[in-house]
Amino acid sequence: MSAPLEPEVGALLEEAQRAFRKEFGSEPTLAVSAPGRVNLIGEHTDYNDGLVLPMALELVTVLVGVPRLDGLISLVTTSEYADEPRRVEFPLPTADQPLEPGMPRWANYVKGVIQHYPASPLPGFSAVVTSSVPLGGGLSSSASLEVATYTFLQQLCPDSVAAVMRAQVCQQAEHSFAGVPCGIMDQLISLFGQKGHALLIDCRSLETCPVPLSDPGVAVLITNSNVRHSLGSSEYPIRRRQCESAAKALGKKSLREVDMKDLEARKELLTKEEFRRARHVVGEIQRTSEAAAALSTSNYKTFGRLMVESHNSLRDDYEVSCPELDQLVTLALSVSGVYGSRMTGGGFGGCTVTLLEADAATRVMKHIQDQYKGTATFYLSKAADGAKVQPL
Ligand code: GLA
């Protein structure tokens, strides 16, 4: 007997199966899912070889499909992407004709993973993509699509690479097909999330350590600001460069190798801006280590304080917050039963994450709904598993 499906995944799978029948006139034989993520703390540290503490969400991207023999790949999405076609078809890549990014943009994440997939020969396939991860909401809708694609390709042509290499292939797809020089956090957590746990990831050694997060008295509330400032995409690579040049000026391989005392003592080697960026990263790595220890002893007060310090540092030193995220954090913190709140993900819009007593959640959502100047959307998700093959 197959294990019962989580309701979220079950409904999505049915939607994807229905769409598959309609588009391709047959039954899909394969199905996979990969989750979005929320990062509890450790922001903008992954590309500095630092520590991060994300958890996988119950929000997932699913892919259902069948292999085909004509060397073509046919993809359909049930999600709405402004003005982009929902169906696309292209041939398998060859050495002479590799895949290249193009339109529709949503398919680039799938193409990128196919292009970089480390096993062969891949057959063609038809597939439908469906997702409950909000698009562009800072909850890693793109990483969940990359990881779902990878997991789907494994069913067509098994790979034999080390587990972390799978995350690196998906990251490579994002770099070269979506043009985003992201770190490794989103892909690692989407692959290796564990139900009831956050995952402490050391982005230097790529070691992961599950930290229990299943206390029924505590909840994680995600609040979507429903804004995404266009600045985000241009500022991310700038932050990355500033961190690299700060590390170089200090004679280090990365900011992971720098401690706060060292940074303060050699401040004059950096521009004022580089110093503030580095102060965020060095402080955030320290906070993430303390937060993981606090979580493992159920010290939610300390965890919450570190979340607030993280937000303030992202706002003031790293300058990746925005008025909407700041307002959501302030509103959450003014309600009793809230341990801490902060922006999560790349910034410039997207979501906040709030740690709170489970029975405070309704109060907090109501307060935010009444006071927030925009329209907020809420997700109360438990820590979920990473990518899976789903029974059909
Ligand atoms: C985005 C990137 C991640 C990470 C975060 C910031 O989500 O994809 O790699 O850098 O921003 O912590």
pLDDT tens-place string over residues 323-349: 999 999 999 999 999 999 999 999 999
Ligand 1 pocket residue status of 174, Cβ below 6 Å: no
Q: What gap in Å lies between CA 296 and CA 47, rounded to an integer?
A: 25
According to DSSP, the residues that pair with 287 across neighbouring strands are none
pLDDT for the residue 2 = 36
Ligand 1 pocket residue status of 49, Cβ below 6 Å: no
Q: How far is the CA of 346 from the centre of ligand 1 (A)?
A: 5
Closest ligand 1 atom, residue 46 Cα:
10
Ligand 1 pocket residue status of 247, Cβ below 6 Å: no
Ligand 1 pocket residue status of 44, Cβ below 6 Å: yes
Contacts of residue 241, defined as CB under 8 A and 6 or more positions apart, other chains included, come to: none
- Average pLDDT estimate for 284-307: 98
- For the chain, give the number of residues: 392
pLDDT of residue 260 exceeding 70, the answer is yes
Ligand 1 pocket residue status of 348, Cβ below 6 Å: no
Ligand 1 pocket residue status of 345, Cβ below 6 Å: yes
Q: How far is the CA of 236 from the centre of ligand 1 (A)?
A: 9
Q: What confidence tens digit (pLDDT) does each residue in 84-132 have? A: 999 999 999 999 999 999 999 999 999 999 999 999 999 999 999 999 9
Nearest protein CA to atom 1 of ligand 1, as residue = 346
pLDDT for the residue 8 = 77
pLDDT for the residue 1 = 35
In sequence order, what DSSP letters do the residues of 204-271 get, joined into one string?
TTTEEEEEE---TTEEEEEEEEEEE-THHHHHHHHHHHHHHHHHHHTT-SSGGG--HHHHHHTGGGS-
Q: What gap in Å lies between CA 211 and CA 53, rounded to an integer?
A: 9
Contacts of residue 326, defined as CB under 8 A and 6 or more positions apart, other chains included, come to: 315
Task: Determine which helix (DSSP H) or strand (DSSP E) holds 296, and give its type and residue range.
Answer: helix 272-296
Ligand 1 pocket residue status of 183, Cβ below 6 Å: yes
To the nearest whole percent, how much of the chain has pLDDT over 70?
98
Q: What gap in Å lies between CA 328 and CA 332, rounded to an integer?
A: 6
Nearest protein CA to atom 11 of ligand 1, as residue = 346
Closest ligand 1 atom, residue 184 Cα:
9
pLDDT for the residue 81 = 79
Mutate which of 185, 277, 287, 348 to test ligand 1's pocket (most atoms within 8 Å of Cβ)? 185
Mutate which of 182, 277, 353 to test ligand 1's pocket (most atoms within 8 Å of Cβ)? 182
Q: How far is the CA of 249 from the centre of ligand 1 (A)?
A: 24
Q: How far is the CA of 140 from the centre of ligand 1 (A)?
A: 9
Closest ligand 1 atom, residue 44 Cα:
12
Ligand 1 pocket residue status of 346, Cβ below 6 Å: yes
DSSP letter, residue 384: B
Closest ligand 1 atom, residue 43 Cα:
12
* Residue predicted with more confidence, 3 or 143: 143
pLDDT for the residue 4 = 40
* Residue predicted with more confidence, 233 or 14: 14
Q: What's the pTM?
A: 0.96
pLDDT for the residue 7 = 55
Q: Which of 353, 37, 8, 350 has the alpha carbon at shortest distance from 189?
A: 37
Closest ligand 1 atom, residue 39 Cα:
12
Q: Which of 152, 155, 80 has the alpha carbon at shortest distance from 113?
A: 152
- Average pLDDT estimate for 299-307: 98
Q: What angle do CA 303, 305, 307 make, to 5 degrees?
A: 70
Ligand 1 pocket residue status of 28, Cβ below 6 Å: no
pLDDT of residue 83 exceeding 90, the answer is no
Backbone φ, ψ for residue 66 (5° rounding):
-140, 150
- Average pLDDT estimate for 222-235: 89
DSSP letter, residue 387: -
Q: Are strands 30-41 and 388-389 parallel, antiparallel or unpaired?
A: antiparallel
pLDDT for the residue 3 = 40
Token digits for 38? 């929320």
Nearest protein CA to atom 9 of ligand 1, as residue = 183
**Residue 233 pLDDT level (bands cut at 50, 70, 90):** confident
- Average pLDDT estimate for 151-162: 97
pLDDT for the residue 208 = 97
Contacts of residue 361, defined as CB under 8 A and 6 or more positions apart, other chains included, come to: 219, 221, 380
Please provide the average confidence, as pLDDT, over all residues in the chain: 96
pLDDT of residue 301 exceeding 60, the answer is yes
In sequence order, what DSSP letters do the residues of 65-77 get, joined into one string?
EEEESSSEEEEEE
Which sequence positions are flagged as catalytic? 186
